[in-house]
Amino acid sequence: MPSDLTATAAPAPPGPLRAFWRAFRGNRGAVMGLVVVSLIFFVAIFASVLAPHDPLEQFRGFSKLPPFWVKGSDPRFLLGTDAVGRDMLSRLMYGARVSLFIGLAVMVVSMLAGVALGLAAAFFGGLVDVLIIRVMDLIMAIPSLVLAILIIAIIGPNLTNTIVAVTIVGLPRYVRLVRASALAELTKDYVTAAKVSGVRKFRLMTVTVLPNCLAPLIVQAALGLSDAILEAAGLGFLGLGAQPPTPEWGAMLADTRDLMISHPWVMAFPGLAILTTVLAINLMGDGLRDALDPRLRRS
């Protein structure tokens, strides 16, 4: 036996983050989505620095200007102006801020509420479980936008209430997901072991079980972000979301119908912004899902 063959340690297995990144990186679409989403976030955060004009300022005598590649455009307004002479590019940039803010707020609140309700349903069982699941079923029985409209009708249309309505509408998916994964974890040996060793219920819920339910929850959060943005834009379009003159993409589309034929770009840009954002987040979400948990499949 040759003595110079010292046992070399097997390469350390990649950490979970590394493994995730390796899987995510292999998905071209997901990486593209991530790049676009990062760009949109960048624009949203630095809108006040990047935007050439105030999104609310109306430039008299400069209304309905076309974007730069069309004849008759003004170099000061790269993407033209809307019906009352506000700079389209600036409004779109600030709109990114509004849409992402709504989306992220909905996502964070849904995650917190979803985890709390889902864990409660799984751990306490019995009446608590039945009650929570029944209420979630009820929410799911009413078509999302119809329920959101009903909620807005009661609490009034504005930005905060949009977040409330969209959160309630999307909540069942989070609750059911957390409940289902927690129930699945509860049957496993490590939970029994923890119970036997005297871990308290609250600690068992949050420290022992919750981390093992996170992968599907993260995927759901990414996809929930794009759903929330779409839903909020739909409400804005119906006049039940952010109110004018807030530069919200959906609301920007609402009053373009009369201009649609003569000045199509006023209508084209906000919609394109919504589509790009949602598409990029979905691409990223698909990649996340494949990398984190290949078993999860979204229709």
Which pair of tokens denotes residue 79?
A: 């993407």
Which pair of tokens denotes residue 246?
A: 């807030």
Of 110, 105, 114, 111, give the one whose Cα is nearest residue 163.
Answer: 105
Judged by beta carbon, residue 115 or residue 288, the one nearer another protein is 288
HSE value, Cβ hemisphere, 13 Å, CA-based, for 218: 16
Query: Under a CB-based contact definition with an 8 Å cutoff, are residues 220 and 177 in contact?
Result: yes
Output the furthest CA–CA distance in the chain (Å, rounded). 91
Q: What are the residues binding another protein (CB under 8 A)? A: 29, 134-135, 137-138, 140-147, 149-151, 153-154, 156, 226, 230, 233-234, 237-238, 240, 250, 253, 256-257, 260-261, 264, 267-268, 270-271, 274-275, 278-279, 282-283, 286, 297-299
Say how far apart CA 273 and CA 279 lie, in whole Å.
Answer: 10
Shortest gap between Cβ of 284 and another protein (angstroms)?
11
What residue type is 161 in one-letter code? N
Judged by beta carbon, residue 246 or residue 256, the one nearer another protein is 256
The 10 Å CB-count burial string (b at 16+, else e) for 255-273 is bbeeeeeebebbbbbbbeb
Judged by beta carbon, residue 105 or residue 149, the one nearer another protein is 149
Say how far apart CA 107 and CA 148 lie, in whole Å.
Answer: 16
Shortest gap between Cβ of 93 and another protein (angstroms)?
18
Burial class (CB in 10 A: 0-12, 13-18, 19+), 29: middle
Judged by beta carbon, residue 135 or residue 191, the one nearer another protein is 135
Judged by beta carbon, residue 50 or residue 279, the one nearer another protein is 279
Q: Identify whether 216 is preceded by a cis peptide bond (ω within 30 of 0).
A: no
Shortest gap between Cβ of 134 and another protein (angstroms)?
6
Length of the chain: 299
Judged by beta carbon, residue 87 or residue 286, the one nearer another protein is 286
Shortest gap between Cβ of 145 and another protein (angstroms)?
4
Shortest gap between Cβ of 102 and another protein (angstroms)?
14
Shortest gap between Cβ of 153 and another protein (angstroms)?
5
Judged by beta carbon, residue 220 or residue 256, the one nearer another protein is 256
Which pair of tokens denotes residue 47?
A: 């809108």
Give the rounded distance of the alpha carbon of 168 from its chain centre.
Answer: 14
Shortest gap between Cβ of 48 and another protein (angstroms)?
26
